[in-house]
Amino acid sequence: MAKNSKKQISKEEAQAKLWEMGELSWLLTDVQKDMKNSVFNDTTRTSVIVCSRRLGKTWLMVTLALEQSLSKPNSIVKFLLPKQKDAKTIIQPLMREITETCPVELRPDYSTQDKIYRFHNGSEIHLGGSDLSAESLRGTRADLVLIDEAGFVNDLLYTIRSILSPTIRTTRGRMILASTPSRDPQHEFIQHFMNPYKASGRLRIYDIYQNPNFTPDIIEEIIEEYPRGEEDPDFRREYLCQVFVDEETTICPEFSMNKDNIIFNDETAPELPDFRDFYVGMDIGHKDLTVALFGYYDFKNATLVITDELVMNGPTMTTEDLVEGIIAKEKIRFYDEKTKEQHKAYLRVMDVNLGLQQDLKLLHDLNFITSRKDGKQGAINEMRMWVAKGRVKIHERCKHLIYHLEYGQWNDKRTDFKRMPDTPDKSVRGGHVDGIPALYYLIRNVQTSKNPFPFGYGLNINENTFMSPKFKHKNVSEATDFFRKVLNLKKK
């Protein structure tokens, strides 16, 4: 036998060594490995996984709990389930199956009374159900918090904020929520986790077609169980992880229905008309957000095109910062690359704030008119109709406006808007969905009947063309005349 030959170890010995190290990725499918990687590549301490039924998310969660417990002695893992009975009917059978190859001395002991798995190295996994014993997870530190089927947990926000989050403050531990979307689109998992994470591009969704255990025949059998097949809402929610718009509570449900035709980028931008009027619409936030929208009205296609937004936090906003931001945005978005001409805003409109309005005009030469505030519901309905008819186009850089339109909700009495959560990385703020008022102020005040194209545009006019003198010598600026009327200025 050669002196340098290495001793071959058996499969059982290799598995035992991996169990001892707390490295269990070999027990996962490729899609489960992808879920695990997405969690640990997440820079924030709370991660969200949305996946279809039978994809193995609970298997993954139990495996993560075992890895934490084995790899770091004296770890505490808190594992929350929708119902207390799930500990017996779901977790215990899975634990037995997963630890089948685990050396006996490394396997945890389960206390039925305490609902705790205890390991030889001092680590523990604490189980609780949101229906009965979520409070039992309160107190003591935690290195890892797992919430399975978070879309079906009672009082999810309270449980996270008051019971579970405090346990990982000092340990700087991680929290993972995994679930299939709930039937109720108003559930806190959808409103406070799925939607914000999706808006910030951090939501990973795994549907039925990524399930390695489902052949095309099995998928077809599942689809046939639903009355409307693949278009059935229950199938699309359970297996495609789609959340349907609640038209009763969503402020502008038409946006989600027409989103693909509304949002554009630099490559898919609508054709720029040769002549157009530029607009600014602004909603002033005090304890919420100040949102200003910049765009132009396409007279030919009767479309309001929003090209950019300016978002500032109300309490920390100064007039100087606001002015600087508006001027910078107008300089970029109102510049015509084709003609190399810098345009001015034809109209700027905002909500009632006479002090700020006067400062903007007298100190900074920025004229804003005040939008009417009456008939709020009618203004919102008009906005919805414009959106439904495709008369609003929005550049993808307007992330706040898009977030507010897609997920903005009415309160229970439909008297005001609900405040929205920020995205986890705070790159998009929820506020009081302030982008929506800024948009309907614009729609309410845009001069749809004003034709920005000069008389004779597109005609072959020469010395042989007859033109009436009243058109030939028409030099009055419609924009100037409009501002005089609005601001009640006397003609000089």
pLDDT at 132: 78
Same domain, 18 and 78: yes
**Number of Cβ within a 10 Å radius of residue 398:** 24
pLDDT at 161: 93
Domain boundary residue among 215, 240, 265?
240
In a domain, 55, yes or no: yes
Q: What is the DSSP letter of 96?
A: H
Same domain, 220 and 280: no
In a domain, 130, yes or no: yes
CA distances from 50 to 41, 202, 402, 415 (A): 16, 11, 22, 32
Task: Compute the C-alpha angle 416/304/371, nearest 5°.
Answer: 45
In a domain, 99, yes or no: yes
In a domain, 66, yes or no: yes
The arrangement of strands across the sheet holding 124-129 comes to 109-111, 116-118, 124-129, 76-81, 144-148, 174-179, 46-51, 204-206
Q: How far apart are CA 95 and CA 75, in angstroms?
A: 18
Same domain, 133 and 169: yes
Same domain, 194 and 82: yes
Q: How far apart are CA 445 and CA 418, in angstroms?
A: 25
pLDDT at 421: 92
CA-wise closest residue to 81 among 128, 139, 135: 128
pLDDT at 225: 94
Query: What is the separation of C-alpha 406 from the centre of its chain, rounded to a whole number of angstroms?
Result: 8
Domain boundary residue among 210, 240, 270?
240
In a domain, 222, yes or no: yes
Give the tens place of pLDDT for each residue, 350-370: 998 888 888 898 888 999 999
Q: Which residue has the tokens 């302030």?
A: 434
Same domain, 195 and 338: no
Q: How far apart are CA 260 and CA 302, in angstroms?
A: 19
Query: What does pLDDT average to in each consecutive run of 10 residues of the chain (492 residues)?
Result: 66 92 95 93 89 93 97 96 92 96 95 94 95 83 96 93 93 94 91 92 91 93 93 93 88 93 95 94 90 97 97 85 95 92 94 86 90 87 96 97 95 90 90 95 95 78 61 52 58 47
Same domain, 191 and 261: no
**Tell me, what CATH number does 110's domain have?**
3.40.50.300
At 50, list the tokens: 């949305």
Same domain, 66 and 131: yes
Residues 6+ apart with CB under 8 A from 244: 185, 233, 236, 237
Strand 124-129, strand 263-264: pairing: unpaired
pLDDT at 134: 82
* Prediction pTM value: 0.80
Task: Compute the C-alpha angle 169/171/175, nearest 5°.
Answer: 70
In a domain, 54, yes or no: yes
Same domain, 332 and 432: yes
> In the chain, how many domains are there?
2
pLDDT at 313: 87
Give the tens place of pLDDT for each residue, 13-48: 899 999 999 999 999 999 999 999 999 888 888 999
pLDDT at 475: 46
pLDDT at 492: 44
Q: How far apart are CA 116 and CA 188, in angstroms?
A: 28
In a domain, 452, yes or no: no
**Where in the sequence is the domain holding 363, given as residue range(s)?**
256-445
Domain boundary residue among 240, 265, 294?
240
In a domain, 143, yes or no: yes
pLDDT at 1: 47
- Written as one string, the DSSP assignment of 185-254 is TTSHHIIIIIHHHHHTT--EEE-GGG-TT--HHHHHHHHHTSTTGGG-HHHHHHHH------TTTBS-HH
Dmax over CA atoms of the chain, in Å, equals 111
Same domain, 412 and 295: yes
What letters, b where the CB count within 10 A reaches 16 and e where it falls short, cover 324-363? ebbeebbeebbeeeeeeeeeebbbbbbbebeebbebbeee
pLDDT at 318: 87
Same domain, 42 and 136: yes
**Tell me, what CATH number does 401's domain have?**
3.30.420.280
At 167, list the tokens: 């346990």
Same domain, 263 and 153: no
Specify the 3-state DSSP secondary structure of 97: helix
pLDDT at 287: 82
Same domain, 234 and 298: no
Q: How far apart are CA 157 and CA 448, in angstroms?
A: 45
